[in-house]
Amino acid sequence: MQLTIVGAGAIGGVLGAYLKRGGHDVTFCDLVEPHVQAIRGPGLRIEGPDETFTVQAPAYTPDELLARGEPLRTVLLCVKSQDTERAIRQLLPLVGTGTQVVSCQNGLCEDIIASVIGVEKTIGCFVNFSADYLEPGRILYGGVSALYLGEVDQSISPRVLELQRALSCWGPVQVTDNILGYLWGKLSYAALLFATAMVDATMAEVVRSLPHRDALLELTSEVLEVADLQGIRPMGFDDWEPSLVYPRDQRDPQALADQLERLALRMASNKKTKSGIWRDLAVRKRRTEVDFQLTPVVQIGERLGRPMPLTRFVIAIIHQLEDGAPMSWHHLDRLAELYEVEGGLRRSGDASRI
């Protein structure tokens, strides 16, 4: 299969490397020139929990790719969500009738892609494995996790099944007729990850913090409620199970506690014990994807009459951290206080407040 990886960082680098090693015709495209030079020179090194390997492949900057003038076939778009529209518009001269773009990204980027090139050229994708771009030509890979493919219209098409076969050289790719459910399930999980990045601690430490647990569950429930109001059924993955969190009045406290401990164990055993969000803030000193993940959810919530105070608070704190404010457990303390002020201590029988 002929594929172009646009954004050869953490996710794109890993998928592209496995596809290349699996015998596919893979071309990489990335903005970082030293990274491009490394891929087509010494090679792209993937350092995983079970194996480390290196692949060499054609690699170009966007300008170089455009100069080649070859129409794009299958594109795995792996850029940060805030760069989606810019990347797609830049590649428009290479988009033809046979082009299909797979959004291997966080958030609801399929909508952005479809608005530029059309829904018929857009394929939905949910990907959750962890990886970090360490330096040009070197990526740390956390190991196989969940990856689902599906059409934006919620169907399973022959082209989706073809992609599943191609990507099987990476791991257990699955197809679904509810790709929106997986994307919204991950948005609820993303809310939790953004909260963990407000402190300089591991994700597992935050998930296990009992004083903050109710507030964190309400934070994720705000997102899940917006999905529910749209008729979307969020799906679980990798020890995150939205159905145990929402609806609020149907929670089984013991089952939820057990599930959260399984999630914490998974987080603690991963080679990445802190999120990519934390790394963006603490290491790379760059803007996060918060305005292309949580902010659109808040906007949808507004239209549906849901104010989402906890989600708004997390967005505000992340913006402060992007501007240089320090990480602190105090941010989670304030989140818990806001939860109480907003009437978050819901008890059975409080259905009118849910």
Residue whose C-alpha is closest to residue 272's, from 32, 47, 82? 47
234 Cβ contact list (under 8 Å, min separation 6): 181, 182, 184, 185, 188, 224, 227, 228, 242, 243, 246
171 and 235: one domain?
A: no
Tokens 């690699």: give the residue: 59
The side-by-side arrangement of strands in the sheet containing 122-127 is 59-60, 25-29, 2-6, 74-77, 100-103, 122-127, 147-151, 174-175
141 and 185: one domain?
A: no
16 and 162: one domain?
A: yes
Residue whose C-alpha is closest to residue 101's, from 231, 174, 237, 7? 7
149 and 259: one domain?
A: no
In total, how many domains does the chain have?
2
Residue whose C-alpha is closest to residue 145's, from 104, 108, 114? 104
14 and 136: one domain?
A: yes
SS3 7: coil
158 and 291: one domain?
A: no
Return the pLDDT at 354.
33
Domain boundary pick from 177, 208, 226: 177
16 and 64: one domain?
A: yes
Return the pLDDT at 289.
96
Q: What would you report as the CA-atom Rg of the chain, rounded to the nearest whole angstrom?
A: 20
162 and 24: one domain?
A: yes
SS3 133: strand
Torsion of CA 287, 290, 296, 297, to 10 degrees: 180
Q: Are 52 and 46 in contact (CB under 8 A)?
A: yes
129 and 243: one domain?
A: no
Return the pLDDT at 271.
75
Domain boundary pick from 131, 150, 177: 177
* Domain range enclosing 281: 181-353
Q: Distance between CA 62 and CA 87 in Å, rounded?
A: 9
Q: Are 320 and 191 in contact (CB under 8 A)?
A: no
Domain boundary pick from 143, 177, 211: 177
153 and 254: one domain?
A: no
123 and 185: one domain?
A: no
Q: Rounded to whole angstroms, what are the CA distances from 218 to 25, 36, 223, 268, 344?
A: 46, 43, 9, 23, 7
| 260: CATH | 1.10.1040.10
- Residue by residue, pLDDT tens for the chain (354 residues) are 999 999 999 999 999 999 999 999 999 999 999 999 999 999 999 999 889 999 999 999 999 999 999 999 999 999 999 999 999 999 999 999 999 999 999 999 999 999 999 999 999 999 998 888 999 999 999 888 899 999 999 999 999 999 999 999 999 999 999 999 999 999 999 999 999 999 999 999 999 999 999 999 999 999 999 999 999 999 999 999 999 999 999 999 999 999 999 999 999 988 789 998 999 999 999 999 999 999 999 999 999 999 999 999 999 999 999 999 999 999 999 999 999 998 744 443 443 333
Tokens 């990507």: give the residue: 167
| 88: CATH | 3.40.50.720
C-alpha count within 13 angstroms, C-beta hemisphere, residue 23: 4
Residue whose C-alpha is closest to residue 317's, from 301, 334, 300, 302? 334
110 and 215: one domain?
A: no
